[in-house]
Amino acid sequence: MCIRPFGKQGDERIFIEARAFCVIIKWIEEGRIISINSDALEYENSLITEPDRRMRVKTYLGIAKEYVKLSDSLIKRANEIMSLGIRDMDGFHVAMAEEGKADYFVTCDDGIISEAKKFQETLKVKVCSVLEFLEEVVRYVEANK
């Protein structure tokens, strides 16, 4: 889950990504795209110590139409992804996105984007930034008018 709405909005990049995040949330609410929640996202949200922030994230997660639960096969896949160099929890997020048959894993984390690009052929989901995702969706809509 991208945390840009909670970042310092004075930073231009964070400001732009926060607005992009809002567009994505709007599209999810309108049913134009489908989001996936997972045990990994719920777990990470449970670690947020600020009650207001935790509740906001819970609201975002609650609009997901799909849910992926942890399983032995998912743990195995997450370990394979982590062996590529994608950090622990990020490996679970990517594995859960794959399990949910997501086309995209959207994040604001430059580290996971950089690592995932090295292994894009190995991953079953495209890892991209919120801005890359918006660009691809807009390009797709324009091409299919």
What is the pTM (predicted TM-score) of this model?
0.87
Single out the residue of 96, 92, 98 nearest to residue 78, CA to CA: 92
Report how far residue 141's alpha carbon sits from residue 95's, in angstroms, rounded to the nearest whole number.
Answer: 28
Report how far residue 82's alpha carbon sits from residue 94's, in angstroms, rounded to the nearest whole number.
Answer: 10
In DSSP terms, which residues pair with 128 in a beta bridge?
106
Could you read off the pLDDT of 64-115 as tens digits, one per residue?
A: 999 999 999 999 999 999 999 998 899 999 999 999 999 999 998 999 999 9
Residue 9 has pLDDT above 70, yes or no: no
pLDDT interval class at 11 (50, 70, 90): confident
Report how far residue 102's alpha carbon sits from residue 138's, in angstroms, rounded to the nearest whole number.
Answer: 18
Would you state the CATH architecture of domain 4-143?
Answer: 3-Layer(aba) Sandwich (3.40)
